[in-house]
Structure 1
């Protein structure tokens, strides 16, 4: 989408601010919603040199501790602190900051609390999955 917009702008002297905004919106939503998916597939960062030598019970306890001390508080804070901004954005139907840009920025902003909630749920699901294994 960005490449098409660049070719249109510099090759044909035309371009679209809305297409530029759409590329930015799509990238932002893709990036933030990829975080819970990465966690679901076990793509989180771990020091493998240490973890492959530790017993599985230790790793389960370490993951539970990380979920309780880091994952839930951080993503819970994102939910709590961002709620007012999201509500205001929806109430005014916030659009692009660029003149002539694409509307619907409030939808893009909504992806952040959705991803935060998905991370909390995914962390909890990972805990229960490991507990049952």
Structure 2
């Protein structure tokens, strides 16, 4: 059962990583097009600017579960140098269970009515002539929160090597 969960979380990580790559590619292309159009041709498009904003939002929110899956999250490292690796591994696990899962679960739960309303009206841009589909971009927040919970569960279930508690090197 443990291996199945870890395998599913690995697939979800690949999905989140692919979304990040796609969003980053769109962001780079959109910003490049905006700069060339504005400074090369003296014109611009609101839809293109909003596409860059949407891509940045999706990239930023999906980077959280991707970072967590690679053990790249930020820790407060005040006391960790004096503590053993075993203690640090258990502290990570307790923090993931007591803080990460409830906080991101609250994000999904609290944001759900807003998301349901956004989908019900097929929310679009607030700008005249802007890009539609804001409701799809808003969906990224609870999806990324759920993916973060899944990666937190995987981090708790994943076996760790001695000395790998904070090095980013997990043994599967």
Matched, 1:38 2:92: no
Q: How does 1:1-133 map to 2 (within 5 A)?
A: 1-48=30-77, 50-130=79-159
More helix by share: 1
Query: Which blocks of at least 5 consecutive residues in structure 1 are unaligned?
Result: none
Q: Quick one: distance in 1 between partners of 2:42 and 2:78?
A: 54
Per-residue deviation, 1:81: 0.3
- Please, what TM-score do these two structures have when normalized by structure 1? 0.89
Does the CA contact (< 8 Å) of 1:60 and 1:130 recur in 2? Answer: no
- Please, what TM-score do these two structures have when normalized by structure 2? 0.70
Query: Which blocks of at least 5 consecutive residues in structure 2 are unaligned?
Result: 1-29, 162-170
Q: For each residue in 1:64-93, what CA deviation from the matched residue of structure 2 results, as whole angstroms up to 9, or x when unmatched?
A: 210122101110110000000111111111
RMSD: 1.9
Q: Quick one: distance in 1 between partners of 2:141 and 2:39?
A: 34
Q: Quick one: distance in 1 between partners of 2:103 and 2:76?
A: 21
